[in-house]
Amino acid sequence: MCKMRPVNVSYVGPAIDDLALVTRLPEEIISAFRLQNGWIVADGGFHVRGACLKPDWHSLRAAWEGEFALCQLYSDVRETDIPIAEDAFGDQYLIREDRVVHLSGETGEVGETRLTWMEFLLRVEKEPIEFLQLSYLEEFRKMGENLLPGQLLSAYPPFCTKEGAEPSLRPVPSLELRAYHADFARQTKNAADGQKIKIVIR
């Protein structure tokens, strides 16, 4: 069993304290958690959740079964999908039938990567900017800004819009962005390509 230890880690989760959850995970995830119980790499660009009860933003159980569970927020996410990770912009990565799938936070669309979890992690380690499309995070950092643990980058206008090619970026709590993305995806689910939408800022 491969026990790859992530490099350039900026955050490591607390000790494993959700033992009931551990029994439901594939061995390759359990093996990684024994080394580091979730982590953040790529200067905040990629966050792997851990088998812990707190903090909520890092808890795998919270993303799987909690108030902001992805299977409750997005109709195309299954209860059996393991919501293992997210990127800096709130896109989610889930393990479905031994392969990683990508959930667009803004649209709710699920796409195949055809990669196992270990293959996916190796790609992230080798080329995080290109593989996860983190160029906007690089621009954010060049302005002297950094993401803190528990923060993600909110883009306005959203990336999925025509105007989203040059968005304004600001750090927000990750659970706040998850809820906002899910609501946006739900409201625009049936919008046709090119259709104009009105975004109300509250």
Query: What is the structure's pLDDT at 202?
Result: 53
Q: Give a yes or no: residue 199 inside a domain.
A: no
Query: What is the structure's pLDDT at 1?
Result: 38
Q: Give a yes or no: residue 144 inside a domain.
A: yes
Q: Give a yes or no: residue 73 inside a domain.
A: yes
Q: Give a yes or no: residue 174 inside a domain.
A: yes
The rounded average pLDDT for each run of 10 residues, N- to C-terminus, in the chain (202 residues) is 67 96 93 94 96 97 96 97 98 97 97 96 93 92 90 92 84 97 88 54 52
Q: With H, G, I as helix, E, B as strand and everything else as coil, classify residue 186.
A: helix
Query: What is the structure's pLDDT at 190?
Result: 61
Strand partners, 85: 48, 93
Query: What is the structure's pLDDT at 165?
Result: 81
Among candidate residues 149, 119, 115, 177, the one with its CA nearest the CA of residue 47: 149
Give the CA distances from residue 130 to residues 47, 50, 147, 158, in Å, rounded to whole numbers and listed in that order: 16, 25, 19, 20
Query: What is the structure's pLDDT at 5?
Result: 66
Q: Give a yes or no: residue 6 inside a domain.
A: no
Query: What is the structure's pLDDT at 8?
Result: 80
Q: Give a yes or no: residue 1 inside a domain.
A: no
Domain that holds residue 46: 11-188
How big, in percent rounded to 5, are the helix, strand and coil portions of the chain?
35, 20, 45
Q: Give a yes or no: residue 123 inside a domain.
A: yes
Can you tell me which residue has the tokens 């936070």?
A: 105
Burial of 73 (0-12, 13-18, 19+ CB in 10 A): buried
Q: Identify each DSSP E strand in the chain by its residue range.
A: 11-12, 39-41, 46-48, 82-87, 92-96, 99-103, 110-115, 151-156, 168-173
The count of structural domains within the chain is 1
Among candidate residues 67, 190, 182, 47, the one with its CA nearest the CA of residue 128: 47
Q: Give a yes or no: residue 84 inside a domain.
A: yes
Query: What is the structure's pLDDT at 199?
Result: 55
Query: What is the structure's pLDDT at 129?
Result: 92
